[in-house]
Structure 1
Amino acid sequence: MLSQYMGQIEALGLNLFFASIFFFIGMAIHDVLKQGKVPKFGRNIVWLVLFLGCAGFIAKGLIQVFWEGSGIG
């Protein structure tokens, strides 16, 4: 039974891995910004770039799911 769902388990594990990597990157950036006493405008730009990277990754995943569901990919 486990072998039937191996692909789904791998995909879930990979997505959780990427989510944890994004979390740890965010925590590291937060620490660097706090220690460096970066001005508010600079912090906002850094967080915007980080958010856009995460949003792009999520959009890629959603597009992939929709394309596979409709038989395109």
Structure 2
Amino acid sequence: MLSQYYEQIETIVLNLSLMALFLLMGFAVHDVLKKNDVPLIGRAVVYLVLFLGAAGFLAKGIIQVFWQSSGVGG
């Protein structure tokens, strides 16, 4: 049974790992910004860049699901 779902399990674990990495990067960035007293605009820019990186991975995953369901990349 495990061999049937190997690709799905691999995809889920990859996505969860990427989510955990972005979360850890967010914590690390927050700690560095807090310790160095970065101004509000600097924090906003850094968090925006981190969010856009995570949103890119999320968009890639959504596009991939739609393409595979329509038979484009599969």
Bin of the TM-score, shorter chain as denominator length: over 0.9
| 1:1-73 → structure 2 map (5 Å cutoff) | 1-73=1-73
**Deviation of the 1:22 alpha carbon:** 0.3
Q: So what's the TM-score if we normalise by structure 1?
A: 0.96
**Deviation of the 1:29 alpha carbon:** 0.2
Q: Distance in 2 between matches of 1:2 and 1:71?
A: 24
Question: Would you say how many aligned residue pairs link Structure 1 and Structure 2?
Answer: 73
Q: So what's the TM-score if we normalise by structure 2?
A: 0.95
Q: Distance in 1 between matches of 2:57 and 2:7?
A: 20
CA RMSD of aligned residues (A): 0.6
Q: Distance in 2 between matches of 1:72 and 1:2?
A: 26
Structure 1 moving runs of 4+ over 6 Å: none
**Deviation of the 1:2 alpha carbon:** 1.2
Identity %: 60
Q: Distance in 2 between matches of 1:39 and 1:9?
A: 42
Higher relative contact order (CA 8 A, sep 6+): 2
Gaps in structure 2 of 5+ consecutive residues: none
Gaps in structure 1 of 5+ consecutive residues: none
**Deviation of the 1:45 alpha carbon:** 0.6
